[in-house]
A and B are shown apart, each in its own frame.
Chain A
Amino acid sequence: DAGVIQSPRHEVTEMGQEVTLRCKPISGHNSLFWYRQTMMRGLELLIYFNNNVPIDDSGMPEDRFSAKMPNASFSTLKIQPSEPRDSAVYFCASSPTNLQGRDEKLFFGSGTQLSVL
């Protein structure tokens, strides 16, 4: 299995531009998570999907952020308009189930390094 695939690996954009990050979870996984990693705040859960349905988006910073999961094999995280403070590494992760308490685990992608100038 190729693992969780994220694209692009690096994104450099100017303030005000729209940014779309993409994620392909591991086939058969029904849970998908978007995390953001910064030096100041560490790793933060942005949004959690289960069976393509957003279950918890309480971590999404503001209305400029939106996430979709149109099918089981694809998700996007969009920032519009982008701001310099959005610069971070964005990770997508998937899991076979929605319960960490079972003998399952999160599989992380390699992340997208976003720089907003």
Chain B
Amino acid sequence: KAGVTQTPRYLIKTRGQQVTLSCSPISGHRSVSWYQQTPGQGLQFLFEYFSETQRNKGNFPGRFSGRQFSNSRSEMNVSTLELGDSALYLCASSKSGRPNYEQYFGPGTRLTVT
């Protein structure tokens, strides 16, 4: 079974631009979560989607948004990029998102903002 895929793997953007990252979950998984990983803040939860509905959102500004499509694929968008948005963005999929179900992570998208 194919794992979680994320595209692109690397991105370089300029301050003020916007960016869209994509995530394809494991087949049959309906929950997709996004996390931001930085050296200073570690792994922080961005949001979780299930059946195209956002069920939870982390403590990030409104510049961070996401969506999920009917095939469970998900995108996240960051508008008006800031230098501090440079990070590894990880997507994870789960069968249901319930607490006892493990989440499987993709390789991440490395975003560099200059």
- Mutual binders A and B: no
